[in-house]
Amino acid sequence: MSAARGSNEAPLRCEGLARSFGGLQAVAGVSLALPAGQVTALVGPNGAGKTTLFNLITGNLRADAGTAWVRGQPITGLKPWQVARLGVARSFQDLRLFTHMTVRDNVLAATERSAWFWQPGGTAGRKRRLAAAEAALEATGLASLADARAIDLAYAERKFLSLARILAAEAEIWLLDEPASGLDLASRMRFADLLRSATRRGVAICLIEHNLDVVAELSDRIAFLDQGRVIAEGDPQSILRDPALAAIYFGDRHEPASAAAETEA
């Protein structure tokens, strides 16, 4: 997949996305653009609708209203695998690794998109995919663990495996759901380096993150979500210093009790 195309339009854009569950409006009209080569952080209190927004974009949930575009092509209504093939890679808060496969196979699987008995591209294609997998393993520091089973990995290694899959998929748009949570400082720095080099290649990254230090380190822009709406958007400094937003974030007013809205249907 090539670097950011020379177009003015953000690689991923959405407008007016909305979704409710029963009586609860989980996402209430979100419009967002993810520019190429930048990290956009999505922050907000629990239940603000962040994961639901991801699900709406990837097609795991059907939107009640609104549209999303990838490089100008509308993607609302497409199945998740179709959205993925357009260049959108997504990680999950609970990782969802392929537990019974080895680390290498997990990453290889990310390079194989065709559901047919074999992949297109013949031997040359196979070499290319293997190379992409090895590169992803190198970049995430998992090369020495390539033959270990995913289920046997330590916590930090699992988080990096999740990222390695995204790297190997060579996607241009990354939607990462709390990718750095629970990582120690050294791992966080390695993780930040990986994101930085990706953005240098032109990848558009959107990050759901609760750890505000991570957000401050990594993001170029922040979108603050609350009760399904983007109530503030801008550069990290101004958002993170805003006292009103802090009050909302740390729950100085009654929070909607909606764990359901954050989980995938």
Q: Which residues bind another protein (CB under 8 A)?
A: 58, 60, 79-81, 84-85, 89-92, 96-102, 104-106, 108-110, 112-119, 130, 146-149, 165, 169, 264-265
Measured from the CB of residue 84, what is the shortest distance to another protein in angstroms? 4
Nearer to another protein, 127 or 200 (CB): 127
Shorter beta-carbon distance to another protein: residue 103 or 194:
103
Q: Which of 175, 199, 180 is closest to 190 using CA atoms? A: 180
Query: Measured from the CB atom, is 19 or 90 closer to another protein?
Result: 90
To the nearest whole angstrom, how small is the minimum distance from the Cβ of residue 101 to another protein? Answer: 6
Return d(Cα 251, Cα 74) in angstroms, integer: 36
Minimal distance in Å, beta carbon 112 to another protein?
4
Between CA 41 and CA 139 the distance in angstroms is: 23
Cβ proximity to another protein, 162 vs 199, nearer residue: 162
Shortest CB 199 distance to another protein, Å: 21
> Cα separation of 109 and 11, whole Å?
25
Least CB distance to another protein at residue 110 (A): 5
The distance of closest approach from Cβ of residue 20 to another protein in the complex, given in angstroms and rounded to an integer, is 18
The nearer residue to another protein, 109 or 231, going by C-beta atoms, is: 109
Judged by beta carbon, residue 101 or residue 231, the one nearer another protein is: 101
Instruction: Mark residue 79 as left, alpha or beta (left: phi above 0; alpha: psi -120 to 50; beta: remaining).
Output: beta
CA separation for the pair 105, 152 (Å, rounded): 14
- Rounded CA gap, 232 and 234, in Å? 7
- CB-based contacts of 152: which residues, under 8 Å, 6+ apart? none
Strands (E), 178-228: 204-208, 221-226
